[in-house]
């Protein structure tokens, strides 16, 4: 996971539509080498991309996690 400020980026999300055309969802696949663990107290966020010149292949959303404050103190 990459870190930006208080948040760790889990994955980018791309908009998809089911074949019947009625249901829309977002899809992403993390490219990480270690297991992803969301601890009690962690917060999970979904943000729209803030890129001003986003291309068609770029993600529309990002899934991020904000670790609980006590987890940060354990690492220090």
Per-residue pLDDT tens digits of the chain, which is 76 residues long: 666 668 889 999 999 988 887 899 999 999 888 888 899 999 999 999 888 888 888 899 999 999 887 655 555 5
Tokens of 58: 């770029």
Q: What is the pLDDT of residue 73?
A: 55
Alpha carbon dihedral 27, 31, 35, 40, in 10-degree steps, equals -50
Q: What is the pLDDT of residue 32?
A: 85
Give the position of tokens 């009625």.
22
Q: What's the number of domains the chain is made of?
A: 1
Q: What is the pLDDT of residue 3?
A: 61
Look up the domain containing 29 and give its range: 2-75
Q: What is the pLDDT of residue 5?
A: 62
- The span from the CA of 63 to the CA of 24, in Å, is 17
Alpha carbon dihedral 64, 55, 30, 40, in 10-degree steps, equals 10
């Amino acid at each position: 996971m990459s870190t930006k400020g208080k948040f760790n980026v889990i994955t980018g999300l791309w908009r998809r539509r089911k074949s019947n055309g009625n249901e829309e969802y977002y899809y992403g696949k993390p490219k990480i080498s270690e297991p992803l663990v969301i601890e009690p107290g962690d917060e999970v966020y979904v943000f729209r991309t803030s890129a001003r010149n986003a291309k068609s292949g770029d993600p529309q959303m990002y899934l991020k996690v904000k670790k609980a404050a006590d987890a940060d103190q354990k690492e220090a």
